[in-house]
Structure 1
């Protein structure tokens, strides 16, 4: 846990498909102080995007979220994570296919591990999804920042077809179901 402006700061790391999508969703939430895209869970140091795209490094496109738990809880982040991607497709999100697009939670504490496992069990027990959840819960691994052109991608490229067809619906869903959790002036 870090300290910033006398508020405790926690870190969450999620892989839920393309990091352009997950970054755009989480940076709009109140209590989220920073979201950075990157790569984690693989076998080589300092991977580059072109290497990740081959699927041979074992890395997932992921985001690292620094958040203030007094404003948004880890469980609330999990709720948004599961509501804005498909946790039932193995190594795939829509047309994005490969291990780099897998659904995985990289916990940074034993408490996060427990909360993630309990949340998945709850979703399964309530049969929220018609197919089994394939999201993996793993211990935090080295996180490598993505290249600068991937940072804040949606906000700078919202007119791109990928953003309009893939990310816009996630943002609309966020606005519909989580409007009270959004930062003022976002969307």
Structure 2
């Protein structure tokens, strides 16, 4: 029996984030779009909602992959568009993610990624969804997405589909 949970991630562009999570075992669905926070429902950031089977992949692995596949440890000029965040949907998920981030911080893993309550979601237009899957040979995919997928192949190979 599946135990599907959903969580939001934002960091880099949503094309990259979508591609990263689509290749993972236990990830049932990735919705690409724009996420607002529960604190500021008017401002939207590029991100994805990941629906995952917690019996096949756990939240800590998802968070570790997220932190490794975007610039989670530094500010940059595009942070107003690409908020480094984990968006939670309920208090249980908040508590679990907070424990994981605390544990990672204690291991001296540096990150600026924030844990933020989910607000609203606007799906990307159909033409740009599944961006990597529809044409992995695009120059953008080769330059930005392939290196992120290489990290998963090297460091998280057991979680590849």
TM-score under structure 2 normalisation? 0.90
CA RMSD across the alignment: 1.8
- Count the aligned residue pairs: 159
Question: Structure 2 regions of 5+ residues with no counterpart?
Answer: none
1:48 match: none
The reply to whether residue 116 of structure 1 matches residue 97 of structure 2 is yes
Give the whole-Å Cα distance in 2 for the aligned partners of 1:100 and 1:114.
Answer: 26
1:71 aligned to which of 56, 68, 82 = 56
1:154 Cα offset (Å): 0.9
1:141 Cα offset (Å): 0.9
Q: Look up the SS of the partner of 2:24 in the other structure.
A: coil
1:139 match: 117
1:109 Cα offset (Å): 2.0
Question: Structure 1 regions of 5+ residues with no counterpart?
Answer: 1-5, 45-56
Give the whole-Å Cα distance in 2 for the aligned partners of 1:87 and 1:98.
Answer: 10
2:15 match: 20
Give the whole-Å Cα distance in 2 for the aligned partners of 1:30 and 1:156.
Answer: 20
Q: Structure 1 residues 147, 118: closer, same or farther in 2, change over 3 A?
A: same
1:128 Cα offset (Å): 2.3
1:178 aligned to which of 143, 151, 156 = 156
2:127 aligned to which of 129, 149, 155 = 149
Q: Which has the larger radius of gyration?
A: 1
Could you tell me whether the CA contact under 8 Å between 1:59 and 1:99 is conserved in 2?
A: no
Q: Look up the SS of the partner of 1:41 in the other structure.
A: strand
Q: Deviations over 1:109-141 (max 9, x none)?
A: 222212222222223222223xxx221111111
